[in-house]
Chains A and B, each alone.
Chain A
Amino acid sequence: MEVKKFLYFATQADEANLDGPDDAVALPADNLVSIAPTANNRVEMVFKSMADNAPLAANDSVVLETVVGDAFEVANALVRVINGHPHSDGFVTIADDTTVQDPGDATIAAVYAHPSITGVNAINVTKTAPESADAYYPVNMHPGVVATAQPSGGATLEVNSHYNFSTGSALAYNIPSAAAGRAGDWISILYTARINNAAAHSFTTTTDTKYRDGSIIRVTPGSSARTGFVDVSTTGDNVLTITGLDDGDGGIGTRLMFRNMTGEANGWAVECVVEGEDDNSAATADTLFS
C-alpha cells in the first residue's frame, strides 16, 4: 500500500499562536506542484489549493527560509524526504518553528528536515470567497435547449431548465433553494408573448431570503418618457417583479437568466432584461426588486 505523505509546516514560535492556516498546515505531498527560489535565502513550495476546488484556483504555497546559496540543496533534500522512509507513518515535518509548548510553556526544539532550512517565512493558504465563482458561472440564456412547458402560477421552477413564457395574465413563481442545488445550476426564461397591462409576473426565492446582491433588472430606453431603468438588488430583495404596461414593460423578448453562483443559501443571481411593448414610450412603473 502506498503511503500517503503529508508535509507539515509551522511558522509560530509559540504553540499558543497556532490558530489559523497561516500558522500551521499539513499538505499532501501528492499536491506539491513546484519547488523554486524566491530569493537567495528563500525557497517556495507550491501546492494545489487546500480549500478551493475552482478550475483556476490560486495555488497555496509555503516559503522556507534557507541558508543563502542552498536553494539547490534544499530542493534536492525536499525531494529526498518526500520519497524517503517508505515505511514511515506518512507524517513528515519539513519545517516547524515552534519552540514553546502550550499549555505549559516548555521549551522544545524547532524541527527542520534539512540543515539548510532555517525557518518558515510564510504559509500562504488561500480560501477563495464564493464571489469568485462568478467567473466560472456566466449568467446567460440557453439557446438550443428544448423549452420546458410553462408551469401554472405558484409553481417552483426547475433548475437547469429553459422556459418560453406565453401567458399574459398575472403569475407568481418560486425559485428553488440555492443550497438544495449546486453551484452552476441555471434557469432561463424568454417571453414569447407580452405581459398584459397591469399584470404582475413575480419570481420569489422562497427558501432564500434574497437574490445575490448586485442582481440586475435593466430596461433599455425607448421613446418619450421611456428613458431606461436599472434596479440592482440589495439586502433583503428576494422578489423580482415585472409588471406589464401598455407602451411599457413586459414586451416580447423580455428575458430572465438565473444562475446559482455558490450552491449555498442566497446563491441565486439574476439578470432580467425587460423589453418594451407597443410604442415603447411609457416609463417603467412597477418592475423592480423588493
Chain B
Amino acid sequence: MKKFFYFRDATNEDADLSAAVSATVPVENITGMAPTATTTLSVFFKSLKNETLNEHVELTITLGKIKEVMAELVQAMNGGPHSDGFIVVADNVTTTDGASSIQGNDQTVDAKYLSGNITGVSLVTY
C-alpha cells in the first residue's frame, strides 16, 4: 500500500488554492525530519517540481515533543495496514466552502491533527 501524508495550511477551505496551502505527499518521498525551533518540526520531502531544493512543511508542536512527534509520524507511516493509505497529519481548516461541496458552505468543522502534540502547520513549497 502506498501511504500519503496530507497537510493543509488554511483555516477556510476557500483559501485552499495552491501547493503552498495544501499538499498530499507520498511517505516514501520524505527525506528527513528535524526541528527548526523548539516548537517547530520540519518534515522534508522531495521537490514537488523536481527542482534543486526539496520542500518541507513546518509543524507547530508542543514544547519538548520533537522526538515524540517524529516517532508518531514514523508510526503513522508504518501503521494501519488496513487503512486507505491517506493520513491527515495536519489540517487547519475549521470552515468549509462551497454550497454544493460534500461538507456544504461555511460549516464549522474541527481542525485535524495526527497527534495531540501537533497544533498547526505551514507549508514551505516552492
Contacts and interface: CB of A to CB of B under 8 A. Distances in A.
A206 interface: no
Counting contact residues on chain A (CB < 8 A from B), the size range is: 35 or more
A232 interface: no
A18 B126 contact: no
Interface of B: 1, 27-28, 30-38, 42, 44, 46-47, 49-54, 56, 63-64, 66-67, 70-71, 74-75, 77-79, 81, 126
Contact of A50 (B31, B47, B66): B31
Given A18-B35, A89-B71, 19 more contacts: A1-B81, A3-B78, A8-B70, A16-B38, A16-B64, A19-B37, A24-B67, A27-B31, A27-B32, A49-B31, A50-B34, A53-B52, A53-B53, A53-B54, A125-B34, A128-B53, A133-B51, A182-B49, A184-B51
Contacts, number: 135
B17 to A, nearest CB: 13
A284 B126 CA distance: 39
Interface in A224-238: none
B74 A91 contact: yes
Contact of B78 (A4, A51, A96): A4
Nearest to A183: B51
Contacts of B56: 51
B46 A90 contact: no
16 contacts: A1-B78, A4-B27, A6-B70, A16-B38, A21-B34, A21-B36, A25-B32, A26-B34, A28-B30, A50-B34, A51-B32, A52-B52, A90-B77, A133-B51, A136-B52, A263-B126
A23 interface: yes
B78 A89 contact: yes
Contacts of A91: 70-71, 74-75
Nearest to A21: B34
Contact of A52 (B36, B42, B53, B75): B53
Contacts of A182: 49-51
B93 to A, nearest CB: 24
Instruction: Return the 4 tightest CB-CB contacts between A and B, nearest first.
Output: A50-B32, A21-B34, A91-B74, A54-B52
A90 B75 contact: yes
